[in-house]
C-alpha cells in the first residue's frame, strides 16, 4: 500500500463522520502514526509504506464513534503552536485564532499585562505570549484544565511569560485590585437548552466549557459588570461570542455604557467583540 492509498483508505473511512474535513484529518492521522511532516508525506505519496501502523483501526473506530481527533492524538495545532489536549478542556479551534489576532493588533509592541479568563488548554494565553511582549495570566475554574495549560506552557517554553491560577469567573471574589491592559476570554456561551442538539463530538467535550446559562449570556453579563474597573486606562476586552449573539451583546454593552465592535472570522461568521473603556 502506498502512502497515497493509505490516506485514501482513512479518508474514505472518515468521510461519513467528518465530511469535507476527511482528507485533512487523514493527513493528520498519518503524520501522527509515521512521524512524517505534511510536506514529507506529500513527497512520499507514491512510495510503498513499510507497514500499516497497528493503531490505525483503533484511531478510525474512535473517530467514527465521535471522539474529537485532538483527544485521540493527544495534541492539536493552534496559532502555530502544537498543544497538548485532553478531555479536561475544550479542543482549540481554528476560528478562535481571530481572537488572538485582534489581541495582538491591540497590544502592538507594548510590554502589556493580559488576563485570559476561562483559559482551558491555555491556547489563547500562550498564543498571545508567544507573539507579543505581553505577560499573561490565564484563569479557569477547572484544576484539570489548568494542568493541561501548565503542561502546554512548559511544552512551548513560555513558562514565565504565562502563569495560570484557579479562579471562578462567576464568584464574588473573582478578582481583587488587579488591573490589566487587555482582558480576553472564550467563555461558555451556548444556551443550556441548545446543548442537547449539539453533535456527538461536541458532547465529548466538557460541558463546563460550553454551558453559558439559559440564554448563553451569563458570563458576558458578569464580565461587563466587573471587568471595566480591572482595566488600565485605554484598556480593552476581547471576547469570543456565538454566531447569533451580536444583537444581544450590543444591547448589554449599551446598557453598560460601553462601545462594542463586532468582528467576524474567516468564514464570515460573527466571532468576537472588542469592548474598550
Q: Let me know if 7 is exposed, middle or buried by CB neighbors in 10 A (0-12, 13-18, 19+).
A: buried
Q: What is the pLDDT, as a whole number, of residue 90? A: 95
Distances (CA, A) of 253 to 149, 225, 247, 258, 275: 30, 10, 10, 5, 8
Share of residues in the chain with pLDDT > 70 (%): 100
Collapse the DSSP code of 205 into the 3-class scheme (helix H, G, I; strand E, B; otherwise coil) and give the result: coil
Q: Please provide the average confidence, as pLDDT, over all residues in the chain.
A: 96
Residue 177 has pLDDT above 90, yes or no: no
DSSP, residue by residue, 17-80: HHGGGHHHHHHHHHHHHH---HHHHHHTTTSBPS---TTHHHHHHHHHTT--HHHHHTEEEETT
Torsion of CA 40, 45, 51, 55, to 10 degrees: 70
Share of residues in the chain with pLDDT > 90 (%): 95
Q: At what angle do helices 56-64 and 3-18 cross, to 10 degrees?
A: 20
Mean pLDDT of 146-159: 97
Collapse the DSSP code of 12 into the 3-class scheme (helix H, G, I; strand E, B; otherwise coil) and give the result: helix
Q: What is the pLDDT, as a whole number, of residue 277? A: 84
For the beta sheet containing 231-240, the strands, ordered from the edge strand earlier in sequence to the opposite edge, are 162-166, 135-140, 113-117, 180-185, 231-240, 270-276, 260-264
Are the C-beta atoms of residues 259 and 228 closer than 8 Å to each other? no
CA angle, corner 239, sides to 237 and 243, nearest 5?
Answer: 145
- Gap between the Cα atoms of 220 and 26, Å rounded: 38
172 band by pLDDT with thresholds 50, 70 and 90: confident
Q: Which residues contact 62 (CB under 8 A, 6 or more apart)?
A: 72
88-276 in CATH: which number? 3.40.50.150
Q: What is the pLDDT, as a whole number, of residue 49? A: 92
Mean pLDDT of 215-241: 97
Residue 135 has pLDDT above 90, yes or no: yes
| pLDDT tens-place string over residues 179-226 | 999 999 999 999 999 999 998 899 999 999 999 999 999 999 999 999
Q: What is the pLDDT, as a whole number, of residue 109? A: 96
DSSP 86: -
DSSP, residue by residue, 177-202: S--EEEEEE----B-GGGGGGS-TTG
Mean pLDDT of 67-87: 96
Distances (CA, A) of 271 to 144, 229, 258: 27, 25, 19
Residue 173 has pLDDT above 90, yes or no: no
Residue 248 has pLDDT above 90, yes or no: yes
Residue 176 has pLDDT above 90, yes or no: no
Mean pLDDT of 87-116: 97
- Gap between the Cα atoms of 276 and 234, Å rounded: 7
Amino acid at each position: 500500500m502506498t502512502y497515497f492509498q493509505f490516506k485514501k483508505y482513512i479518508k474514505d473511512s472518515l468521510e461519513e463522520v467528518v465530511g469535507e474535513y476527511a482528507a485533512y484529518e487523514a493527513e493528520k492521522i498519518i503524520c501522527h502514526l509515521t512521524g512524517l511532516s505534511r510536506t514529507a508525506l506529500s513527497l512520499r505519496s507514491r512510495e510503498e509504506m513499510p507497514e500499516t501502523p497497528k493503531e490505525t483501526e483503533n484511531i478510525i473506530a474512535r473517530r467514527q464513534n465521535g471522539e474529537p481527533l485532538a483527544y485521540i492524538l493527544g495534541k492539536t495545532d493552534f496559532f502555530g503552536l502544537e498543544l497538548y489536549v485532553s478531555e479536561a478542556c475544550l479542543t482549540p479551534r481554528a476560528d478562535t485564532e481571530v481572537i488572538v489576532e485582534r489581541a495582538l493588533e491591540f497590544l502592538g509592541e507594548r510590554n502589556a499585562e493580559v488576563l485570559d479568563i476561562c483559559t482551558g488548554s491555555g491556547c489563547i494565553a500562550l498564543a498571545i505570549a508567544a507573539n507579543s511582549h505581553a505577560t499573561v495570566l490565564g484563569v479557569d475554574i477547572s484544576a484539570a484544565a489548568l494542568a493541561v495549560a501548565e503542561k502546554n506552557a512548559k511544552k512551548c517554553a513560555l513558562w514565565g511569560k504565562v502563569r495560570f491560577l484557579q479562579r471562578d469567573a462567576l464568584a464574588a471574589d473573582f478578582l481583587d485590585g488587579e488591573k490589566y491592559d487587555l482582558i480576553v476570554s472564550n467563555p461558555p456561551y451556548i444556551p443550556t437548552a441548545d446543548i442537547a442538539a449539539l453533535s456527538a463530538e461536541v458532547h465529548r467535550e466538557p460541558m463546563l466549557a460550553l454551558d453559558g446559562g439559559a440564554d448563553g449570556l451569563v458570563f458576558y453579563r458578569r464580565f461587563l459588570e466587573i471587568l471595566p474597573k480591572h482595566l488600565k486606562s485605554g484598556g480593552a476586552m476581547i471576547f469570543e461570542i456565538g454566531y447569533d449573539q451580536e444583537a444581544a451583546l450590543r444591547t448589554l454593552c449599551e446598557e453598560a455604557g460601553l462601545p462594542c465592535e463586532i468582528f467576524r472570522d474567516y468564514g464570515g461568521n460573527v466571532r468576537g467583540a472588542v469592548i474598550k473603556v
